[in-house]
C-alpha cells in the first residue's frame, strides 16, 4: 500500500476534519462531545460501585455482630436450661426454645438492611417467673448406680490395700521403733559427790545413800492433788509445788513426760514408805544425801548443795562444784504395761563416775574454838556481824575461817540469805588503823624514818578542811616510831605518808595485796577498793594513810600482816591443801600460791619487833591482848562500814597480828561491826588474845623464854 500524500490531506477542496462524519453518522466534534459524556458517566458509576461496596461491607459486619449476639443468646439460654434442670424448676417455655437452624453449607444468610431491627425473641423466652415442676422426676438408671457403687468399692479396696502395704512394708520400722520407745524407760544413776575434808582427813561434808523420788505423770493413778498431799510431809515440799509436777503429762512441745524429779536425797525410810504406796506413776531410785556432821562448823566457807541436780550453790561447794560433782550415769530398760522390767528385753546401763574429794587447810578443832570465841565476842558487844581467822605464816594456809551470823549447812534453807555470807572474804570495810602498818613498812623501806628514829608529832593537823587528831593526848611531842605505833598516832602516820607521796603509798598498798581478791578459793570474794593518786581529793592525804577512803576485807589485811611476819615476802592465802581423786589419792596440782617480796628482810624484822609496842607498852592501844608466857605483835583498828554512799552508825573494830613475835608462825585477825561503837582494842582485844592462846597451845608452840620488850615511846 502506498503511503498517502500529505499534500492530498491539505487539499483545500477536501472536507474539513471537523465536519467529517464518523462511522455512526456523527461528526467528529459530536463524537468528541459524546466521549466526554461517557467519561463522566463512567466516573459516576465508579463512585456508585464504591458506595455499594462499602454498604455491602457494613452489612457483612452487622450480620457478623448479629450472629455473635445470637450465639450469646443461645449460650445464655442453654445456661438457663442447665440451671433450671439442676434446681428442678425449669419452665415449660425454656424447654420449648428451638434450636438454632443450621445453615446450608456454602449458603450465607440474607443480609439485613441497615437500621432494620432484629427478630424479636418469643414471649415464652422472656418469661421471668420460674414455676415448679408439676411432673414427677425421672427415675434413675439402676444399672448406672450399680456400676458407680462397684467403682467406689473398688477404689476403697485399693486405698485400704495401699495403706496396709505402707504400714507393713514402708513404715513398719518407724512404728516398731515408736512402740519400743513407749516401752523404754531411762532413769538416771546419780554420781556420788566427793567429800570435803579438813587438813587431818576429818569429813566436813560427805554423801550417804538415799533415794530420789520421781514421777511418770502418764502412769499416775488417782487424783494428783490427793497424791501431792500424801507426799508433801514425806518429801518436805509443799503440796502446791508437787501437784503441777504430778499432773503435767506433756511438755509445751507436746512430748510426753515420763520422768520428773519430785525430791532428791530422801531418807531411805521415807523412800520405802513411798514405795509401799504402790502407785505405778511414782519412781523410787538410788540417790545420795549430803551430810554435814559439824552443822554450822565452817558453814560460811563450805557452803551447801541444792536444786534438782544437787549442785553446789554457795561457798566451796559452788567454787569446786565441777571437781566434786562427778558424772551421772543412766539405766535404760523395757517395761511392761504393769511397769515391771521385761525379762530378756533391752537393758543398758552406763555407770556413774563418782566425784573427787578436796582436802582443806582448815583444822576442824581450831575452827570450832575460833567460831566459839567469835560468837561470844559478837554477843558481848552487840555486834551485827564479825569474822575471825588464823593463817599460817610462810605457807599462806588458812587454819580457821569463822563468820557470824552463821547457819546449819545440813539444813540451810530455813535462814535468811544474809547468813550465807562469809564476812571474812566478802565484807569490805574501812580498815582503819590496821592499815597504818602498810605506811610504817613503806616509811622504813623508803628511809623516811629509822626503826629507832623519832619525829615531832603535833596533836592535830588540818588537811582539806578536815582536822585529824591523835586519840592519845600528848599535846604535841617528840614520838619514836614505836611510840607512834603503840599509840596509833594519826598525825604521825600522815606525816610519814607525806614523806612517801601518793604514788608510793598506792604502790605499797598494791604490793601488800590490797585492791584485789586474794584468790583464797571462796566463791564471791570481794576485791576491796583503792584510790589511785590521780583520784585523791583534798582530804585523801590525811584519810587514806590512816585507813579511810579505801576498803578492804579482813583476809586481805591478814595476808598483809603475814607478809611482815614472813620476813617481807607476800604469800597468797590458800584454803584447799590437796585435790584428791575418787580413791583418795592426791592429785598433783601445778598451781602454787603466788608470792612476791614487799620489803627487805631487815625492814620486816624491825617491824615485827615494833608491832609488839601496842600490846606491851602502857600507852598501847592493845593492852588487853597481852598474853602471859607468849609475846604477841599486832595492831588495832577502828574503821567504818560504808552504806548507801555514806557510813553506817557505829564502828568496825579489828585486831590483826601474829605470834609468837620473836618467831612468827600464825597470823590472827578479828573484826566485828558494832552499831554502838567501840575501839579495836576494847571490842576485839580479848578475842585476839584467846585465839592466839588456843592456837599456840594447840600446835605445841613453846612459851617465850625472855620477858617482853620495853619501848621508849618518847623521843
Domains in the chain with CATH codes: 191-326+347-360 (3.90.1310.10), 364-408+426-580+592-698 (3.40.710.10)
Q: In this model, does residue 357 exceed pLDDT 80?
A: yes
pLDDT at residue 123 is higher than 80 = no
Would the CA dihedral through 99, 100, 104, 106 be positive or negative?
negative
Task: Choose among 280, 159, 168: nearest CA to 215.
Answer: 280
Among 298, 314, 301, smallest CA distance to 370 is for 298
Position 165 confidence tier, pLDDT thresholds 50, 70, 90 = confident
Over residues 67-99, the pLDDT tens digits come to 888 888 888 888 888 887 777 544 444 444 445
- pLDDT category at 105 given cuts 50, 70, 90 is very low
User: Using an 8 Å Cβ cutoff, are 684 and 652 in contact?
Assistant: no
The pLDDT value recorded for residue 164 is 82
Which cell numbers in the block locate residue 434?
Answer: 590496821
Predicted confidence band of residue 347 (pLDDT cuts 50, 70, 90):
confident
Residue 592: what pLDDT? 81
Residue 610 has pLDDT above 50, yes or no: yes
Q: Which cell goes with 659?
A: 605470834
Phi then psi for residue 419, to 5 deg, are -70, -20
Return d(Cα 637, Cα 21) in angstroms, integer. 166
Cα dihedral 221→227→228→229 (10° resolution): 170
Q: What's the pLDDT score for residue 31?
A: 59
pLDDT band at 483 (very low <50, low <70, confident <90, very high): very high
Q: Is 135 or 165 the better-scoring residue by pLDDT?
A: 165
Q: Which pLDDT belongs to residue 62?
A: 86
Each residue of 578-617: b (16+ CB within 10 Å) or e?
bbbeeeeeeeeeeeeeeeeebbeeebbbbbbbbbbbbbbb
Place of cell 554420781: 191
Question: Given pLDDT bands bounded at 50, 70 and 90, which one contains residue 713?
Answer: very high
Summarize the confidence of residues 402-421 as an average pLDDT: 91
14 pLDDT higher than 50 = no
pLDDT recorded at residue 44 = 73
Nearest alpha carbon to residue 256 among 226, 281, 285, 286 = 281
> Is the pLDDT at 225 greater than 70, yes or no?
yes
Distance from C-alpha of 127 to C-alpha of 705, rounded to nearest angstrom: 141
Q: Which three cell numbers stand for residue 538?
A: 583534798
Structure confidence by residue, pLDDT tens digits, 253-282: 888 888 888 988 888 999 999 989 988 889
Residue 604 corresponds to which cell in the numbers above? 620486816
Least confident of 26-35, 300-309, 571-580, 586-595: 26-35
Q: Do 688 and 655 form a contact (C-beta atoms < 8 A)? A: yes
In sequence order, what E strands does 335-397 have?
A: 347-350, 357-360, 385-392
Tell me what pLDDT residue 36 has: 65
- The average confidence (pLDDT) of the chain is 85
488 is catalytic: no
Pick from 528, 515, 508, 563: nearest CA to 396: 563
Angle between helices 364-380 and 680-698 (to 10 degrees): 160
Residue 168 has a pLDDT of 74
Strand partners, 468: 461
* Least confident residue range of 54-58, 172-176, 277-281, 675-679: 172-176
**Position 120 pLDDT exceeds 60:** no
The residue-averaged pLDDT of 45-50 equals 79
Beta strands in 612-650 (DSSP E): 633-639, 642-643, 646-647
Please check the confidence at residue 102 and state whether its pLDDT lies above 90: no
The residue count of the chain comes to 715
Q: What does residue 403 show for φ and ψ, rounded to 5 degrees?
A: -140, 150
Q: Give the number of other CB atoms < 10 A from CB of residue 682.
A: 17
What is the model's pLDDT at position 12? 47
Q: Which three cell numbers stand for residue 657?
A: 597480828
Name which residue leads in pLDDT, 347 or 225: 225
CA dihedral 33, 36, 38, 43 (to 10 degrees): -160
Q: Which residue has the cell 624484822?
A: 605
pLDDT at 351: 85
Decide: 618 and 710 in contact? Cβ < 8 Å.
no
pLDDT for res 621: 95
Is the CB of residue 197 less than 8 Å from the CB of residue 358? yes
Q: Which residue has the higher pLDDT, 660 or 161?
A: 660
Confidence of residue 534 (pLDDT cuts 50, 70, 90): very high
Q: Among residues 207, 387, 433, 543, which one is catalytic?
A: 433
Grid cell for residue 635: 595492831
Are 234 and 261 in contact by the 8 Å Cβ rule? The answer is: no
Average pLDDT over residues 688-709: 96
Residue 571 in grid coordinates: 604469800
Q: Is 73 exposed, middle or buried, given 0-12, 13-18 or 19+ CB atoms closer than 10 A? A: middle
Compute the average pLDDT of residues 360-383: 96
- Average pLDDT of the residues in 336-357: 78
Q: What percent of the chain has pLDDT over 90?
A: 54
Q: To which H or E segment does residue 513 belong?
A: none
Quote the Cα angle for 490-491-497, to 5°: 90
Per-residue model confidence (pLDDT) at position 13? 46
Q: What is the mean pLDDT of residues 463-483?
A: 95
With bands split at pLDDT 50, 70 and 90, how would you rate the model's confidence at 337? low
d(CA 86, CA 91) in angstroms, rounded, equals 12
Tell me what pLDDT residue 4 has: 47
pLDDT digits (tens, 9 = 90+) for 615-630: 999 999 999 999 999 9
Cβ atoms of residues 487 and 474 within 8 Å: yes
pLDDT score of 556: 98
- CA pair distance 456, 460, nearest whole angstrom: 12
**Residues 651-685: tens digit of each pLDDT:** 999 999 999 999 999 999 999 999 999 888 899 99
pLDDT at 63: 87
Q: Buried b vs exposed e over 98-121: b needs ≥16 C-beta within 10 Å? A: eeeeeeeeeeeeeeeeeeeeeeee
Amino acid at each position: 500500500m502506498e503511503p498517502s500524500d500529505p499534500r492530498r490531506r491539505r487539499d483545500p477542496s477536501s472536507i474539513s476534519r471537523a465536519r467529517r462524519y464518523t462511522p455512526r453518522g456523527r461528526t467528529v466534534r459530536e463524537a468528541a462531545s459524546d466521549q466526554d459524556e461517557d467519561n463522566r458517566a463512567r466516573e459516576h458509576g465508579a463512585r456508585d460501585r464504591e458506595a455499594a461496596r462499602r454498604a455491602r461491607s457494613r452489612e457483612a459486619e452487622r450480620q457478623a455482630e448479629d450472629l455473635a449476639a445470637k450465639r450469646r443468646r443461645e449460650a445464655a439460654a442453654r445456661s438457663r436450661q442447665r440451671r433450671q434442670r439442676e434446681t428442678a424448676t425449669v419452665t415449660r417455655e425454656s424447654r420449648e426454645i428451638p434450636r438454632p437452624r443450621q445453615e446450608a453449607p456454602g449458603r450465607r444468610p440474607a443480609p439485613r438492611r441497615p437500621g432494620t431491627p432484629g427478630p424479636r425473641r418469643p414471649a415464652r423466652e422472656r418469661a421471668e417467673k420460674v414455676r415448679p415442676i408439676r411432673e414427677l422426676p425421672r427415675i434413675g438408671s439402676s444399672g448406672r448406680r450399680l456400676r458407680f457403687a462397684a467403682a467406689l468399692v473398688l477404689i476403697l479396696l485399693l486405698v485400704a490395700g495401699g495403706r496396709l502395704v505402707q504400714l507393713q512394708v514402708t513404715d513398719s520400722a518407724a512404728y516398731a521403733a515408736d512402740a519400743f520407745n513407749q516401752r523404754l524407760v531411762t532413769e538416771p544413776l546419780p554420781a556420788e559427790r566427793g567429800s570435803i575434808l579438813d587438813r587431818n582427813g576429818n569429813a566436813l561434808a560427805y554423801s550417804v545413800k538415799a533415794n530420789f523420788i520421781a514421777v511418770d505423770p502418764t502412769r499416775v493413778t488417782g487424783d494428783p492433788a490427793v497424791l501431792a498431799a500424801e507426799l508433801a510431809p514425806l518429801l518436805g515440799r509443799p503440796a502446791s509445788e508437787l501437784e503441777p509436777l504430778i499432773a503435767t503429762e506433756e511438755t509445751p512441745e507436746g512430748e510426753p513426760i515420763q520422768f520428773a524429779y519430785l525430791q532428791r536425797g530422801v531418807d531411805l525410810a521415807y523412800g520405802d514408805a513411798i514405795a509401799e504406796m504402790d502407785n505405778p506413776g511414782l519412781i523410787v531410785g538410788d540417790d545420795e544425801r549430803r551430810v554435814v556432821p559439824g552443822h554450822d562448823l565452817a558453814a560460811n566457807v563450805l557452803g551447801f548443795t541444792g536444786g534438782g541436780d544437787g549442785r553446789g550453790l554457795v561457798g566451796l561447794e559452788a567454787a569446786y562444784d565441777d571437781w566434786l560433782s562427778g558424772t551421772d550415769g543412766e539405766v535404760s530398760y523395757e517395761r511392761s504395761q504393769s511397769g515391771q522390767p521385761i525379762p530378756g528385753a533391752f537393758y543398758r546401763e552406763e555407770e556413774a563416775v563418782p566425784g573427787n574429794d578436796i582436802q582443806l587447810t582448815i583444822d576442824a578443832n581450831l575452827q570450832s574454838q575460833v567460831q566459839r570465841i567469835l560468837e561470844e565476842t559478837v554477843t558481848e558487844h552487840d555486834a551485827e556481824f564479825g569474822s575471825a581467822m588464823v593463817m599460817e605464816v610462810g605457807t599462806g594456809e588458812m587454819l580457821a575461817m569463822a563468820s557470824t551470823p552463821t547457819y546449819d549447812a545440813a539444813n540451810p534453807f530455813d535462814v535468811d540469805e544474809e547468813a550465807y555470807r562469809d564476812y571474812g572474804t566478802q565484807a569490805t570495810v574501812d580498815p582503819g588503823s590496821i592499815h597504818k602498818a602498810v605506811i610504817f613498812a613503806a616509811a622504813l623501806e623508803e628511809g623516811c624514818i629509822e626503826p629507832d628514829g623519832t619525829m615531832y608529832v603535833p596533836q592535830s593537823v588540818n588537811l582539806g578542811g578536815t582536822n585529824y587528831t591523835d586519840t592519845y593526848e600528848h599535846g604535841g611531842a617528840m614520838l619514836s616510831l614505836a611510840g607512834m605505833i603503840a599509840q596509833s598516832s594519826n598525825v604521825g602516820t600522815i606525816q610519814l605518808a607525806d614523806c612517801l607521796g601518793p604514788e608510793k603509798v598506792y604502790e605499797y598498798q598494791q604490793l601488800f595485796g590490797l585492791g584485789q581478791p586474794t584468790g583464797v578459793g571462796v566463791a564471791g570474794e570481794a576485791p576491796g577498793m583503792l584510790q589511785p593518786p590521780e583520784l585523791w581529793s583534798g582530804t585523801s592525804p590525811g584519810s587514806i594513810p590512816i585507813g579511810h577512803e579505801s576498803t578492804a576485807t579482813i583476809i586481805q589485811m591478814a595476808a598483809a600482816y603475814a607478809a611482815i611476819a614472813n620476813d617481807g615476802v607476800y604469800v597468797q592465802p590458800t584454803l584447799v591443801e590437796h585435790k584428791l581423786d575418787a580413791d583418795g589419792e592426791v592429785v598433783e596440782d601445778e598451781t602454787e600460791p603466788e608470792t612476791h617480796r614487799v620489803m627487805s628482810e631487815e625492814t620486816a624484822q624491825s617491824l615485827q619487833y615494833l608491832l609488839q609496842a601496842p600490846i606491851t607498852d602502857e600507852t598501847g592501844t592493845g593492852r588487853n591482848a597481852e598474853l602471859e608466857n607468849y609475846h604477841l605483835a599486832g595492831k588495832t583498828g577502828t574503821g567504818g562500814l560504808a552504806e548507801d554512799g555514806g557510813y553506817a552508825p557505829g564502828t568496825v573494830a579489828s585486831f590483826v597480828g601474829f605470834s609468837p613475835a620473836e618467831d612468827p608462825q600464825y597470823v590472827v585477825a578479828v573484826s566485828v561491826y558494832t552499831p554502838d561503837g567501840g575501839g579495836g582494842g576494847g571490842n576485839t582485844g580479848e578475842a585476839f588474845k584467846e585465839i592466839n592462846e588456843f592456837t599456840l597451845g594447840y600446835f605445841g608452840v613453846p612459851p617465850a623464854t625472855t620477858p617482853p620488850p620495853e619501848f621508849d615511846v618518847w623521843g
